[in-house]
A and B are shown apart, each in its own frame.
Chain A
């Protein structure tokens, strides 16, 4: 059972345009979400995160939006650059009232290609 889903395996965007990567989750206990970026032959690296008490978090060109009612989050990259071409993984976990986090659950990834 895939609790974190990235339904688009690939996405192609022109340089300078906006890239929107989507992620859906099914577990209502998830309250903390992260995006990781992965280049070929390297391990994933942390990009940006958001807690469920927020609906938006911004870091430079990267913004993550969270819609709890729809159990949906998205990563926006504006403007897209060729160096953004990579695989992006969405991940989620639950911290809850105890403050003790559960393990991260990852999606299957979306390959972003930014073209010139």
Chain B
């Protein structure tokens, strides 16, 4: 298996633009997680899905952030409109259980100018 795949790896955009991050989890994993990594807060869980259903989105910063999982092999995290403070590395991870070992993708480094 190729592991968790994320695209794009780098994204540079201007404030106010819409940004869409993509994730393909490991086949067979039924949990998918979106994290944001910053220096100040480390790895923050934004939202997670179980069997394509959002379970906990309490970490989503505000209404500008939304996430979807239309099927077991694809998820998106959208920021609209983007702001400079959204600049961070966004990770997607998948697992066979919510608290078990999670497998992370390589991340998307987002820069909002």
Contact = CB atoms under 8 A, between A and B. Distances in A.
Interface of A: 6, 32, 34, 36, 41-46, 49, 89, 93-95, 100-109
Nearest to A49: B101
A102 B99 contact: yes
A43 B104 contact: yes
Contacts of B107: 41-43
A102 B107 CA distance: 23
Nearest to A92: B99
B43 A103 contact: no
B51 to A, nearest CB: 14
A42 B41 CA distance: 18
Contacts of B103: 46
B45 A46 contact: no
B104 A103 contact: no
Contact of B102 (A46, A94, A102): A46
Interface of B: 4, 33, 35, 40-45, 48, 56, 91, 93, 97-107
Contacts of B97: 101
A88 B35 CA distance: 16
Scoring B35, B43, B104, B105 by chain A CB atoms within 10 A of each residue's CB, the highest score goes to B43
Nearest to A46: B101
Ordered nearest first, which 10 A-B pairs have the shortest CB separation?
Answer: A101-B99, A43-B104, A108-B42, A93-B99, A106-B43, A46-B101, A44-B104, A101-B98, A43-B105, A109-B42
A36 B43 CA distance: 11
Given A43-B91, A43-B93, A44-B91, A106 B42 contact: yes
B102 A89 contact: no
Contact of B99 (A42, A103, A106, A108): A103
Contacts of B100: 101
Contacts of B35: 106
